[in-house]
Structure 1
Amino acid sequence: MVVSSTTTTVTVVSLFAVLLRVLVSLGPYSGESTPPKYGDYEAQRHWMEITLHVPPSQWYRNSTHNDLSYWGLDYPPLTAYQSYAHGLLFLNSSVPESVALHSSRGYESPKSKLLMRSTVLSSDLLIFFPSALYFVYAYRLHVSSVNGNNAAIGWQLAMILLNPCLILIDHGHFQYNSISLGLTIGAVAAILSRHEIVGSVLFSLALNHKQMSAYFAPAFLGYLLGKCLRRKHPIFEICKLGFAVLGTFAVIWFPYLHSLEAFSEASVLSRLAPFERGIYEDYVASFWCISSIIIKWKNLFSVQSLKIISFSTTILSFLPSMVHQIGAPSDMGFIYSLLNCSFSFYFFSYQVHEKSILLPLLPASLLALEEPFAFSWLVHYGMLSMYPLLCRDNLILQYVTLLLFFVLIYSSLDGSGPVMKRDFFSIRKALMALSLICSMSLHLVYLVVQPPKKYPFLFEALIMILCFSQFLIMVIHTNIKQWRLETPSRISKSRKNI
């Protein structure tokens, strides 16, 4: 009976998550009918066109058939392979004109739109959904300090699958973040289940799909290294994981590794690090963008200097979290470290986008049972930080609807009982209310009030300042929580069990 009830809960949550994705995909997307470059939808379609008609050695190289100034590939090879597979299986077989070389730019027929949307949904169903389910069960067996009842399983799965930020970006704006994020969740679940080689391979695949997965790399490195150092043959354990990672990278990068000439000509690495765009582009809730209101970083420093400054501050900010896991690796500490390290990159790394908030939100969703309030707060301000982008995409209706659904489900499916209530009714309620009033006001003001001509991006700046302040408060909280997780007695006990 318990198994049947759990299966029913998981099925209902999953089907509802699919339904929301389908409904959002019926709406507009990035760059719809807006030449000359359209938007992210066109970028993904164009990559299918290029990978279908140009040999792999030319995918990242400027040529007559591959104009890099028009949505050139700027993600690792696994994204290119994914584009090839989607183009071949979905579009080329049914609407070949939608991926025809040169002549298909801006192609937007109803059938091709349906097929393009289907590629995103199928990616979710094949990778993100199974990974989320795998994590929920691994978490219940190995990590959870909350009662692993049926309601808790359903609620935690809902928090991962119904994250409105991910649904809006992938199924509204149009991207494939569910692939790299799904591979990362699978890697976390495998490691928690003590299948560390499998986890290392999955995370290597995530890195080879989107380079922003490196946001999680210090947490993986700290936890796995800390575990290996406590085993009987630490060097052997480290080598096993190292070979798994190197082997995965070698397979993915094979077309560019058979000769130094091919590797240099492909220019893959230069495409993955677009430093020419500056330390930040649009308004985003990162340290560099917010502080630029006072310190004009781009005027004061060269690109080379900014790369060094950004690199150094990023390392310094994630180092405490990583060092903690090397010294006292624990399953819960690992998940907290994923959140803390990813926020270090979001705050301080070079060229952060609005959509990058999806990376810290992933481990926040994995911590939903332990940190229900922190997760919901980050979702709210993660949504707000992407609000200007989603307004430009005409996704306001979808934005409001998904946010309301999330609040309703978060409030009604109380899977963690007293933990959630204790967090929600805290003494900080007055400050929280004030922050929410500011957030609601900015939502409305951005839509109906014209900014002063002298400051055309005033409201974007105010939104990002508010979001940055909330993110910073939560990061301080979660870093403190990570360092308080292990007492000396618990550390020594956990070492015996490794």
Structure 2
Amino acid sequence: MAAKKKKRNDEVGKNQSFPWSSSSSHNSATTIATVLFSLLVRVVVSLGPYSGEGRPPMYGDYEAQRHWMEISLHLPAKEWYRNSTSNDLSYWGLDYPPLTAYQSLLHSLLLNSSLPASLRLSASRGFESRASKLAMRWTVLSSDLLIFFPAALYFVLSRRRRRQEEGQNNNGDDDDNWLLAAILLNPCHILIDHGHFQYNCISLGFTLGAIAAVLSANELVAALLFTLAINHKQMSMYFAPAFFSHLLGKCLRRKHPIIEVMKLGFVVLATLAIVWWPYLYSLEAIMEVLTRLAPFERGIYEDYVANFWCSTSVLIKWKRLFSIKVLKSLSLLATVSTFLPSFIHQVKSPTDASFLYALLNSSFSFYLFSYQVHEKSILLPLLPASLLAQQEPLLFGWFVYYALLSMFPLLSRDGLVLQYVALLPLFGLIFFSPVGRRNRREYNVSARTRALMALPLSSSLVLHVMYLTLKPPVKYPFLFEALIVFLCFSQFVILTFYTNIKQWKLLKESCQSVTGGKKKDD
């Protein structure tokens, strides 16, 4: 047994390049070039317009983020979520967890040192000087570079390490850099954060770091990072069933399962206590924050989002026919019912491969059926889809295209059509690159399937042209948006069925993997 292990380690060593070897230097240069190019694309996109630019009185997400910096800078933490004369919650009141508020405070300290006029309490609404726009854009770029980029590298390195341990290193460096490019150059993420203007890079970065930590068997680190993700944006809960079921399934297979669960629970509770410390002095203060995080009064969906509730609202007027209480119950039932099979699978047989599918299935369930979903929420299922780009290249490419289409009306309103048109073919260059083609070789798509795929694709192209060139009928002013929503929803449903079936097909392989690795886990 020892000789066998030594032989395997020797083989792994042969597959690994020395830091000073030419192949390693070439790979490092390619990785650095990928990172720098990804950063450059973000900078170029950030030169364009943003949400609500020059559109009073509420402006848009850019103004919301600026206003949160203003509030966090001038008011004590206990008043950030409380309505007052200094903090009118009807004007972009803070509605994300405390970690977002701390992020706003940190950025406000940087801006206030050079542009105090941009953050004057109650006197800076709609402030849009050239210098403040530049400073605000750099806060997003720096957040992306400091959190999401390292998390993406951590994930790719963890995948490489696992492949080397298994003695699989054929075309490894090229595949790693292609995967890194697929993650960092996702057009949807870039257009929302650096075009529309948000900080999804922080919560998604923490989530990606947590996923990489799970794959690297650093489960306590994963618990810490994912708790931070939830405390930055509550939508990160889309991934919670997958994380909980996967980690629980692993704990149940170890010698002391209760102790393992308690260790994870301690990390989560300790992190929550630190983040929520300013509000733990009373139940009322905690409830003030929680109430802001669950704005049920806004309705079951926001604008035109390609999920079940919005797509079917053409036939069933959900908001008009049902009360908020009933809709909350229906939404909860539908969401839990759709992620439950994936949840059970992970508890029963947790493996790294099935974990990525579980993340996708869980986030899809929330996007399609949960309460108060935004168009931008499609970024959450897009994250695990990007991580599956090598195993599921067709799913990844198809999903990115229709996710981008689902946000086209939003991006068009923001004046980001040029950026949209530029990033779509850039993504195509990555997808249809030689490495991308190699990853797709094993997929034999029949002529009938190609014909079926061509129908929605051609429809999407027609909808692009119609939206940009034609005026909708006066009687149906949102006709084109509704058609885009329905088309994207139909594709998301097909992808959801496929990924759930694919996860359960891994059951036999998963059981064998868990049985073989039980001794190691113990």
Distance 1:228 1:73 in 2: 37
Native 8 Å contact 2:345 2:507 kept in 1:
no
For residue 125 of structure 1, give the secondary structure of its aligned residue in structure 2: helix
CA distance in 1, matches of 2:348, 2:176: 31
Say whether residues 1:326 and 2:308 are aligned partners.
Answer: no
Give how far 1:263 is off: 3.0
Contact 1:207 1:214 in 2 (8 A): yes
1:449 to 446, 470, 485: 470
Distance 1:426 1:9, change over 3 A: farther
Answer yes or no: is the 8 Å Cα contact 1:159–1:368 preserved in 2.
Answer: yes
Cα deviation for residue 494 of structure 1 reads 3.7
How far apart are residue 383 of structure 1 and its match? 0.4
Aligned position for 1:66: 87
1:348 to 369, 374, 379: 369
The answer on whether the counterparts of 2:151 and 2:208 sit within 8 Å (CA) in structure 1 is: yes
Secondary structure class of the residue paired with 1:31: coil
Partner of 1:400: 421
CA distance in 1, matches of 2:464, 2:169: 35
Which digits, 9 at most, give the CA deviation of each residue in 1:351-392, with x for residues without a partner? 110000000000000101101110110000000000000000
Cα distance in 2 between the residues matched to 1:430 and 1:13: 35
Alignment partners' CA distance in 2, 1:415 and 1:458: 36
**Alpha-carbon shift at residue 328 of structure 1 (Å):** 0.2
CA–CA distance in structure 1, aligned partners of residues 444 and 143 of structure 2: 35
How far has the Cα of 1:424 moved from its partner? 7.1
Superposition deviation, residue 146 in structure 1: 8.2
**Which residue of structure 2 aligns with residue 204 of structure 1?**
227
Are the aligned partners of 1:186 and 1:199 in contact in 2 as well (CA < 8 Å)? yes
Matches within 5 A, 1:113-152: 113-142=133-162, 147=170, 149-152=172-175
CA separation in 2, counterparts of 1:402 and 1:52?
A: 36
Cα offset, 1:212, TM superposition: 0.1
Q: Which residue of 2 aligns with 1:105?
A: 125
Query: Whole-Å Cα distance in 2 between the matches of residues 140 and 386 of structure 1?
Result: 33
**Is structure 2 residue 40 aligned with structure 1 residue 19?**
yes
Cα gap change, 1:495/1:202 in structure 2, threshold over 3 Å: closer, same or farther? same
Q: Is the 8 A contact 2:50 2:196 kept in 1?
A: yes
CA distance in 2 between counterparts of 1:127 and 1:494 reads 32
Match of 1:283 in 2: 304
1:215 partnered with 2:238:
yes
- Structure 2 counterpart of 1:484, one-letter code: K
Q: TM-score, normalised by structure 2?
A: 0.93
The aligned runs of 1:57-96 (5 Å cut-off) are 57-89=78-110, 91-96=111-116
- What is the aligned partner in structure 2 of residue 239 from structure 1? 262
Query: Which AA in structure 2 matches 1:180?
Result: S
Q: Tell me the equivalent position of 1:230.
A: 253
3-state DSSP of counterpart to 1:423: coil
Report if aligned partners of 1:140, 1:148 keep a CA contact under 8 Å in 2: no
Q: Say which of 30, 33, 52 aligns to 1:9.
A: 30
Shift of 1:412: 1.2
Post-superposition Cα deviations, 1:178-202, rounded to whole Å, max 9, x if no partner, equal 0000000000001110110001000
Matched AA of 2:130? P
> Is the counterpart of residue 183 in structure 1 residue 188 in structure 2?
no
Is residue 423 from structure 1 mapped to residue 446 from structure 2 by the alignment? no
2:329 aligned with 1:308? yes
In 1: Cα distance, 2:486 partner to 2:440 partner:
28
CA contact (8 A) 2:389 2:396 kept: yes
Q: Distance in 1 between matches of 2:305 and 2:443?
A: 28
Q: Say whether 1:371 aligns with 2:392.
A: yes
Total equivalences in the alignment: 494
Deviates more, 1:438-447 or 1:137-146: 137-146
TM-score in terms of structure 1 length: 0.97
Once residues 490 and 206 of structure 1 are traced to their aligned partners in structure 2, the CA distance between those partners, rounded to angstroms, is 29
Write the distance in 1 (CA, Å) between the matches of 2:482 and 2:24. 50
Q: Does structure 2 retain, via aligned residues, the 8 Å contact 1:256–1:263?
A: yes
Does 1:153 find its partner at 2:155? Answer: no
Mapping 1:258-297, distance limit 5 Å? 258-264=281-287, 267-297=288-318
Q: Is the 8 A contact 2:393 2:436 kept in 1?
A: no
CA shift, 1:4, in A, is 1.2
Q: CA deviation at 1:475?
A: 1.0
Aligned in 2, Cα 1:34/1:68: closer, same or farther, shift over 3 Å? same
- Counterpart among 338, 363, 369 of residue 317 in structure 1: 338
**Aligned-residue offset at 1:422:** 3.3
Deviations 1:262-298 (A, max 9, x none): 334xx10110001001111211111011111112222
Letter in 2 for 1:467: C
Opposite residue 254 of structure 2, the aligned amino acid is: R
1:360 aligns with 2:381: yes
Change in Cα spacing, 1:174 to 1:152, as seen in structure 2 (3 Å) is same
CA deviations 1:186-243 (Å, max 9, x no partner) are 0000111011000100000000000000000000001000000000000000000000
Distance 2:204 2:214 in 1: 15
**How far apart are residue 299 of structure 1 and its match?**
2.3
Return the match for 2:49 from 12, 19, 28.
28
Which residue pairs with 1:56 in the alignment? 77
